[in-house]
Every structure is written in C-alpha cells, then in structure tokens.
Structure 1
Amino acid sequence: MTTLRSCIERCFGDIVYGDELFWHQDLKPHTSGEFSIAVVQANSTLEDQGQVAATPFGTFIGVYDGHGGPEAARFVNNQLFPNFCKSAMEQKGVSADVMRKAIVATEEEFLRSVERSFPYRPQIASVGTCCLVGAVTEDMLYVANLGDSRAVLGRCANPSGKDVVAERLTCDHNVSDVEIRKELKQMHPDDSDIVVHTRGVWRIKGIIQVRFFGSSI
C-alpha cells in the first residue's frame, strides 16, 4: 500500500551549482519522460522557491514567486506538495479537483499561521507569493495559476519535430486587466479601496499590481 511518506519522496538528485545565485539539474527521469530544472536567484535574499517531485500519481512542478518577503513562498514550497499527495491518494489519481483542494488547504494553513504570528510579527500580513503549479500524469497536464508567473508549453509544429512552437497555458492575474479589477470589486463590495489607480497604474490596496497567494492585502 502506498503511504503518504513514500509519496512525498523527492526526486531532485544531484544538483549542480554554477555560483551562489545559480543552480541547475540535468535531465532526470520522471513518470512520463524526463525533466530538468534551473534556478537563477535575482538578489541575496531569495524570496522565490521552486520544486519538482515524483509521485506514484505523476510528476509535480511548482514555482512560487514571493512578494514582501520569503515566508509565503517557503511555506507553500513545504506544504503544497504534501497536500497534493494527500488529495491524490484520497481520490486515487490526479484531477483538477485534486489540484484545487491542495491549493485551498495550503492557503488556509498559511492564513492560520499568519494569524498566530501577527501579534509579534505584524509584517507577515503583507507577505505573499504567486503560485504556479503543474502535474504531469500519463498523457495529461494539469496547470493551476495565481499571479503573473507563466506556464509555456513547447509543442512540435510538425511530425519531424524540428520546429517547436511556444504555447502559453496561463493568464496573468494582474489588476491592469479590467476583468480582474471587476472580480476583486465583486469579491470585496464593502472595500472601496480594494483597487486604486496610483503612480500611473492600477494597484491592489494601492500597493501591488498582481493578485497572489496568502497576503491579506
């Protein structure tokens, strides 16, 4: 019987470091083919996280673009994959509902963590992260996105496989988009300042343009 512990076995293998701000991993096998990963750190305090992991149900990929600090991205990097495994085990496979349940459970856990930390770390309420995740299982690819990280699929344009076409799989959740602004205003009808035009652009609460995971702003 597959246990949750064995499901959470990571498949990073040997990591190659180019310097302190860059690392990569060459092609490694996963359940439906091969994968590689590369990370370039933009500054000395890394606010972003990324992961690739194999499970009996498929291969899980996550990219978390932190904002306001590293705490939210680190939390999601630690908790989302176990929640994904738990949900996949309960439903005996991967589906859009499995992805949704894992993300909702992780955000609820993070918000509880923020509530506990707020009395002595009030800045934690302004920390968040974009969340872009995917799962490859057999001949299916599931993608979930909140924020402005983008998933792009390379697709063969002809049978020879020589020409590859980039196909965008996600839409940005940015309040420069009028539909995103309408959605936020509908979600927060009692908050007239939920979206504010300031410094030449639209911003959530006058602070940030992108919708993201975890932050209470």
Structure 2
Amino acid sequence: MVSGSLMRMMPPCWRPSVEGEDSSRGDDANGRVDGLLWYKDLGDHVTGEFSMAVIQANNLLEDHSQLESGPLSLYESGPHGTFVGIYDGHGGPATARFINEHLFGYIKKFTTENGGMSADVINKAFLATEEDFLALVRKQWLNDPHMASVGSCCLVGIVCSGMLYIANAGDSRVVLGRLDNTYKEVKAVPLSSEHNASVESVREELRSLHPDDPQIVVLKHTVWRVKGIIQISRSIGDAYLKSAEFNRDPLLPKFRVPEPFDKPILSAEPETLVQKLDPEDQFLIFASDGLWEHLSSQEAVDIVNTCPRNTIGI
C-alpha cells in the first residue's frame, strides 16, 4: 500500500528467497525478509509515507512492483509527481520485468511530448510497452518460443498536480481510503475494475467483441476462462493470444488456441480513471489479486486505518 515515494525503491522491489538460502528473518537493504515474505513497515518522503510487502507465491518470482517520484517528463522543469506500478506476472518473470524496465520511461517520454500528464499519455505508454514486448517475442521466437506465453497484469497509479490517474489492465486493484465526515469513518472506494472472466460484465464484453466465437469464454472446472485457458481479459504480453503468428509451432500445444483467429483475443489497452484528490482522501492501497482473494476492499482499508502506522504493510 502506498501514499507516495521519493524514488524507485528497487527494480523488482524486494530480494526474493531462493531454494537453499537461509530463510530466517533478517534485515534487507530496503526492508525485512522473513522466508518468502519481504516487507517494509513504513518509509518517509517529502510528500507522504508508504509501506509495502510481497509474498512470493512461486519458487520463480514472477511479480514486480515499482515506485518513482520526481519529474514525470524527460526534463526537470516538467511536472513532478509519484508513480506506482504493480506488475503481476504469469507464465514466467519476463513480461513483468520488461514492464518494470520500460513503462515508466514511456510515461516520461509521452508526458514530455504531450506537454503534461493525461489519461492519453498513460494509454500510449501501455500500448508502446506492449508493442516493444511483442517485438522482443518475435525476435526470440525460434530460440525461446515460450516467451509468447508469458504475460503480466499491469496496474499503475500517478499522483500529479493534485490529480490522481489510475490505469489498469488485468485483475489487480487499487482502493482509496476516504474519510466520511458524516460518520467519521474511513470508507473503501475501489478505483479500478478487474478484467477477469469471473466477472459477468467482462464475459459480456468479450462476447460483444467476439460475436462469432461461442467459445470466447468457457466454464472449465467451475472457473470462467478466456478460450478455456486464462482468466484475465487484458494484459501486457501473452503474445499467443494477441497474434496468430505466435499460435503455432514451436510453441507447446498446451498454449495454443485450436481455432484460428484474426484479431487479438486479449487486449493491452488499460481502463483509466482521472480524478481530483480531495482533503478527505487518506491513503491508497495497490495490490494484486493475491491480496483481494483474501480481503475485501473495506477490510484492507480498516487494517490500514486502525493499525499503528509502523505496522500497516500488506
């Protein structure tokens, strides 16, 4: 959960545990490590505080997160703000790592060209990052076809000039803790929608985009999946579901769609929100679905609001 940051914390934001390594609790350069858990209880910077935590779900770390603060353009004289990125990878670490290394650079580039921050700037940065990653997949296709099956959800938040910009592709979520002055309570305000086939509106969107494909969403083992393969409808990467050129040998058959397709099945275009920050806005929580599968938005907000400030990491 983040209310801001002074600088990029660390490329994947933490030091993962690896097999054979001493997993006892200990200090890390930027936080604390306890087995597969990395956390930083509280950090200070010029415009606020942040705390964060990561639990490694798989032996191979597929997820990255990023915090930046300072100029949001290529020039010091450009707009300043805070950038938060949550990159929930799947199929391997390559896409999440690629987003971590390229997306913010595109944000700065397009902010410079546009003369300021906007939803259009963020949308262009997502699509440029997607285009570059697919170009990398194409370049490595014969030597590493598995790259075509690697992808990542991408959730971004930017605070700039009193405005909040949110962009999401995938099923991560950002929640605002807002003070209700009438009841003197901090209420949860979800600011993003999950692009997951378990959501009826997402299934309806997919069916409307692919009216000639009765198998665009399939209920498989009680779980709704796009083409019976993947739950999310938007991502960066997943080239085998974006272009038919990657839906063939030498990619393993288990990653291939049986029917030919002539337009992308998944989309990299984010859903964006822009709103003014108000004095009642207390904090923001950014997290992947690994958190939201266990906590409601309000439960997470209550934890942040009621726990001591130095123990709010999730």
Shared fold, TM over 0.5: yes
Of 229, 251, 258, which aligns to 1:207? 229
Cα deviation for residue 126 of structure 1 reads: 1.2
Q: Distance in 2 between matches of 1:185 and 1:136?
A: 35
Report the equivalent of 1:137. Answer: 160
What is residue 60 of structure 1 aligned with on the other side? 83
Letter in 2 for 1:207: I
What is the TM-score of this pair, normalised by structure 2?
0.60
Aligned mates of 1:114, 1:120 — CA distance in 2:
10
The one of 151, 164, 169 aligned to 1:146: 169
2:269 corresponds in structure 1 to none
Match of 2:31 in 1: 16
Query: What number of residue pairs does the alignment pair up?
Result: 207
Task: Spell out, residue by residue over 1:112-171, the C-alpha distance to the aligned partner (whole angstroms, 9 max, x if none).
Answer: 1111112121111111111100101131110001111110111112289x6321111111
Change (3 A) 1:11 1:128: closer
Letter in 2 for 1:29: H
CA radius of gyration, larger in: 2
1:29 is matched with: 45
1:55 and 1:22 map into 2 onto residues whose CA distance is 29
Q: Give the C-alpha shift of residue 84 in structure 1.
A: 0.8
Alignment gaps of 5+ in structure 1: 1-8
3-state DSSP class of the match of 2:66? strand
Q: Using the TM superposition, give the Cα deviation of residue 44 of structure 1 relative to its aligned residue in structure 2, in angstroms.
A: 2.3
Alignment check: 8 A CA contact 2:8 2:66 kept = no
Gaps of 5+ in 2: 1-5, 11-28, 72-79, 242-314
Q: Say if 1:190 and 1:117 are closer, same or farther in 2 by CA, change over 3 A.
A: farther
| Alpha-carbon distance change, 71 to 191 in structure 1, aligned in 2, over 3 angstroms | farther
Quote the Cα distance in structure 1 between the aligned partners of 2:236 and 2:207.
Answer: 17
Using the size of structure 1 for normalisation, the TM-score is: 0.85
SS at match of 1:164: strand
Give the drift of 1:198: 2.0
- Map 1:178-217; keep pairs closer than 5 Å: 178-188=200-210, 191-211=213-233, 212-216=235-239, 217=241
Shift of 1:186: 4.0
Q: Distance in 1 between matches of 2:54 and 2:36?
A: 8
Given that 1:53 and 1:61 are in contact with CA atoms closer than 8 Å, whether structure 2 keeps it comes out as yes
CA contact (8 A) 1:28 1:36 kept: no
Q: Assess if the C-alpha contact under 8 Å between 1:155 and 1:167 holds in 2.
A: yes
C-alpha contact (below 8 Å) 1:15/1:23 kept by paired residues = no
Q: 1:10, 1:33 → 2: CA distance?
A: 12
In the alignment, the residues of structure 1 paired with residue 176 and residue 87 of structure 2 have an alpha-carbon distance, to the nearest angstrom, of: 18
How far residue 65 of structure 1 moved from its aligned partner, in angstroms, is: 0.7
What is the alpha-carbon distance in structure 2 between the residues aligned to residue 58 and residue 148 of structure 1?
25
CA offsets 1:2-23 (integer angstroms, 9 cap, x no match) = xxxxxxx944286112235333
Distance 2:229 2:188 in 1: 32
Identity of aligned residues (%): 49
Q: Which has the higher contact order (CA 8 A, sep 6+)?
A: 2
1:39 deviates by 2.2
Structure 1 Cα separation of the partners of residues 143 and 125 of structure 2? 29
1:18 aligned partner, one-letter code:
V
Q: Greater shift after overlay, 91-100 or 196-205?
A: 196-205
Give the alignment's Cα RMSD to 1 decimal. 2.3
1:42-191 alignment runs, 5 A limit: 42-56=57-71, 57-158=80-181, 163-188=185-210, 191=213
